[in-house]
Chain A
Amino acid sequence: MVDAAQHYIEEQPGGISACPACSAAPAAEDMARRARELEGATLALSLPGIHCAACIDTVERALNAAPGVREARVNLTLKRAQVKADADVGAADLVQVVEGVGYEAHELDAGTIAATATDRRGRELLMRLAVAGFASMNVMLLSVSVWSGAADATRDLFHWISAAITLPAIAFCAQPFFISAGRALKARHLNMDVPISLAILLALATSLWETSLSGEHAYFDAALTLTFFLLAGRYLDHRTRAAARSAAEELAALEVPRAWVLRDGEEVQLPVAELVIGDLIQVRPGGRMPVDGAIVEGASELDRSLLTGETLPVPAMVGQDVSAGEVNLTGPLTVRATAIGRDTSLARMADLVAIAESGRSRYTSLADRAAKLYAPGVHILSALSFLGWFLWSGDLRVALNIAAAVLIITCPCALGLAVPAVTTAASGRLFRRGMLVKHETALERLAEVDTVLFDKTGTLTAGAPEATNLDAFDDATLSLALALAEGSSHPLSRSLVTALRARGIAPAPVAELREVPGYGTEGRLDGRRVRLGRAAWLGAEAGGETATWLQGPDGLAEFTFTDSLRDGAETAVRDLLAAGKRVALISGDAEGAVADLAARLGIADWTAGALPGDKAARIADLQAQGARVLMVGDGLNDTAALSTAHVSISPASALDAARVASDIVLLGGDLSPIPEALDIASRATRRIRENFRIATFYNVIAVPLAVAGLCSPLIAALAMSASSITVSLNALRLR
């Protein structure tokens, strides 16, 4: 995220369109676009509904038959389709094709997911793992013959063959450890890879020396098994993180940033990245503002809840400023762009949050703490045994052999597997429950949580209003309200329509129905004007609640609304309270709405009207008192709080900036997995500690043997494999 911040700073001058480099930039983009058109485009679709062979077949057949498509392939694991098509084929056409055969499809932004398309690092690790496995099995075969009694020339031959296999294999497989150790040493500190590299290299050196003197003990097999187990740990670790990263990127890629722009009097659809300042952009009802700008045409209402947490829509008129991220509710708006891309206030706020110190950077993971104790200890131990034996026996060869044996025995095979094996199992389990663990230490931090802070709008509530006082009206009023509400796509109207239809109300015969953007709908009933809309438009006195007013034949009626709860909100809060956690609600919304919701959920501790800074300050306050805070939030006004908190969760519907700032993303709309996540996290942390204890236990038995010079390569191989396998099995218990 620091990269993003730097990127932003570098790009700052780009906002001033007078600079010469910027006028050159569009030309370069233009050329890139033309090159793309020549070779055709690769489009990606997300297909959340596919699950079997028949689905793959149907979708592939439909896509391949679509005009302009060169090749289409479905990936069931990622639930995605990759389509190579002519340049004039748009993703929207393909989405229609797939929806035509009955499957849900969404366009994915190709640029955003391109990074995960080929996982080069993972592939390299897998390749090294395969070579290490192959070499170690062959060398182990030869070593077993030596241990079971091969002597003299045969033993020497076996040792030499082992050396011939081991040296090139190690040179290839152990590179990641050597490189990382070298980097650590250059920075003058120790990491886990320093003792690992030292053990591997020392084992090789002493074994070569022994072999050249026809010695009895060689550790070629140990060096290779060590590398194999450690690579297995690295690969697991990488896989978990790559899976989380690609799922997170898919969430981001789902929001394909496109806008309708007026260019030369024509309306064209363009990616948001190609907008320039001064463009006239059309934002339809339901659309999100892609840029900062000023309204030049139209009247509507704006939903700013993602930015501020307010649930009440704000009226929008010509001349008013709008910010990226606000949602247009009722009428079409034309906006002149004043700031685009990274210069919008939305991106700037998100960047500021990224720069701010976050909870996760202050946290040292269990593995790091273990390494801090472990790395110096191992070096001191092996150096001491070398010195001791050298002084006592005066034989450099014996002393070096024993020092190598100590290093190999203590080598953190099990430690290297202890954490990744557990986090892989736990993250896999959470993923199946609909939670995406993005950060590597998130689980450990989640396990320490004792206080949970919820945001209201969009987190505990679904952001969809629900009428509260329908019972107070007679059927005639309700049927009139239904007729008028059907004329608008405003969230309040849509909610009224759903609720009234469910009650079996039929709409009244309203004539000349029309929507007045920004105000409401009006029509005529029996020749008299009837209206449904804002209080001010109807001449009523607006209260503090979310409400819409009806002007019917018999005067005014007020429909009040409350936000409907998100699925699982009640269970989540109840389970958290039952588990003895402190639960609090903090919202930017008005006091009435917040108090209502807190009472409904049984949350005693609530704060209303909180500014973004207040939320972060509250968390900082709690943490200063020693509490470990989990923040659950979704809006831009929560991002500062999300990154201040010890650990944070955001729903998938959250703003991109909020998802980036949080450690865990809830993929479904349901909040009920949160208490379970806390439980899984604390069990995972317990397993990690257990694994450390198992690894230590093996060391406690084997190290004295090694120091005493009684450790043969056979014992080393047994201890190492046994501890690695126990640790992995222990981690699997979590699944």
Chain B
Amino acid sequence: MDILVWLIPISLFLGGIGLVGFIWTVKTDQYDDPEGASQRILSDQWDDKPKP
């Protein structure tokens, strides 16, 4: 049962990373244009280097 001392904090921490990540995506407007985002991967405009 001692393993629980490790497992519970680890599971909470991993879940927490997911939560923080989600909050970051919401805060940076990443759900404003879902259709555009799915189409933009087909564009070759910034294939050679990332958009500055």
A53's partner among B4, B15, B22, B40 (CB-CB below 8 A) is B40
A75 CB contacts on chain B under 8 angstroms? 32-33, 36
A130 to chain B, nearest CB (A): 5
Given contacts A56-B40, A138-B12, A161-B8, contact A78 B33 (CB under 8 A): yes
| A595: interface (CB < 8 Å) | no
A52 at the interface (CB under 8 A from B): yes
- Residues of chain B within 8 A (CB-CB) of A60 are 45
Interface contact B26-A123, CB-CB below 8 Å:
yes
Give CA–CA (A54, B31) in the complex, Å. 21
Chain A contacts for B39, CB-based, 8 A: 52-53, 56, 76
Q: Min CB distance, A120 to chain B, in Å?
A: 11
Contacting B at CB under 8 A, from A59-87, are 60-61, 74-78
Digitize A31-65: 1 where CB-to-B-CB distance is under 8 Å, 0 elsewhere. Answer: 00000000000000000000011101100110000
Closest chain A CB from B47 CB (angstroms) = 12
Looking at the assembled complex, report how far the CB atom of A573 sits from the nearest CB atom of chain B, in whole angstroms: 36
User: Quick check: B32 and A126 within 8 Å, CB to CB?
Assistant: no
B33 touches A131 (CB 8 A): no
CB within 8 Å of A: which B1-40 residues: 1, 4, 8, 11-12, 15-16, 18-19, 22-23, 26, 31-36, 39-40
Question: Is A22 among interface residues, defined by CB-CB distance under 8 A?
Answer: no
A54 to B11, CA, bound (A): 43
Q: Is A127 in contact with B26, judged by CB distance below 8 angstroms?
A: yes
Assess the B19–A130 pair: CB atoms within 8 A: yes
Judge if A141 is at the interface, Cβ distance under 8 Å: yes
- For chain A, the bracket of interface size reads 20 to 34
Tell me the bound Cα distance from A61 to B45 in angstroms: 9
Contact A76 B22 (CB under 8 A): no
In the complex the two chains form, what is the Cα distance from A262 to B23 in whole Å?
Answer: 53
Quick check: A134 and B40 within 8 Å, CB to CB?
Answer: no
* Residues in B whose Cβ lies below 8 Å from that of A9: none
Chain B interface residue count, Cβ-Cβ cutoff 8 angstroms: 24
Whether A154 sits at the interface, judged by CB under 8 Å, is yes
Chain B residues within an 8 Å CB radius of A52: 39, 42
- Contact between chains at A53 and B43 (CB < 8 Å): yes
CB neighbours (8 Å) of B40 from chain A are 53, 56
Tell me if A137 counts as interface (CB < 8 A to partner B): yes
B12 contact set on A, CB distance < 8 A:
138, 165
Q: Mark A211-229, 1 if CB is under 8 A from B, else 0.
A: 0000000000000000000
Instruction: Return the chain A residue nearest B8 by Cβ.
Output: A161
B36 touches A74 (CB 8 A): yes
Q: Please, what's the 1-or-0 string for A158-192, where 1 marks a CB less than 8 Å from any CB in chain B?
A: 00010001000000000000000000000000000
Q: B15 to chain A: closest CB distance in Å?
A: 6
Q: Are A77 and B32 in contact (CB under 8 A)?
A: yes
For A154, list chain B residues within 8 Å (CB). 1, 4
CA distance A130 to B23 in the complex (A): 8
Per the bound structure, the CA–CA distance linking A77 and B15 in Å amounts to 30
Contacts of A77 in B (CB 8 A): 32-36
A123-136 CB mask vs B (1 if < 8 Å, else 0) is 10011001100100
- Residues of B near A137 (CB, < 8 A) are 15
Q: Closest residue to B44 on the A side, CB-wise?
A: A57
Please, which residue of chain B has its CB at the minimum distance from the CB of A51?
B39
Q: Are B32 and A57 in contact (CB under 8 A)?
A: no
State whether B15 touches A76 (Cβ < 8 A).
no
Bound complex: CA of A142 vs CA of B9, how far in Å? 12
Task: Tell me the complex Cα distance, A74–B31, Å.
Answer: 14
- 20 A-B pairs within 8 Å (CB atoms) are namely A53-B40, A53-B41, A53-B43, A74-B36, A76-B33, A76-B35, A76-B39, A77-B32, A77-B36, A78-B33, A123-B26, A126-B31, A131-B19, A134-B16, A134-B18, A134-B19, A141-B11, A154-B4, A157-B4, A161-B8
A contact residues vs B (CB 8 Å cutoff): 52-54, 56-57, 60-61, 74-78, 123, 126-127, 130-131, 134, 137-138, 141-142, 154, 157, 161, 165
Per CB-CB distance, the 8 closest pairs between chain A and chain B, nearest first, are A76-B36, A53-B42, A53-B39, A77-B35, A134-B19, A75-B33, A76-B35, A53-B43
What residues of chain B have their CB less than 8 Å away from a CB belonging to chain A? 1, 4, 8, 11-12, 15-16, 18-19, 22-23, 26, 31-36, 39-43, 45
Other than the given A53-B43, A77-B32, A77-B35, 20 more pairs (CB < 8 A) read A52-B39, A52-B42, A53-B40, A53-B42, A56-B36, A56-B39, A56-B40, A57-B43, A75-B33, A78-B33, A123-B26, A126-B26, A126-B31, A127-B23, A130-B19, A130-B23, A138-B11, A142-B8, A154-B4, A165-B12
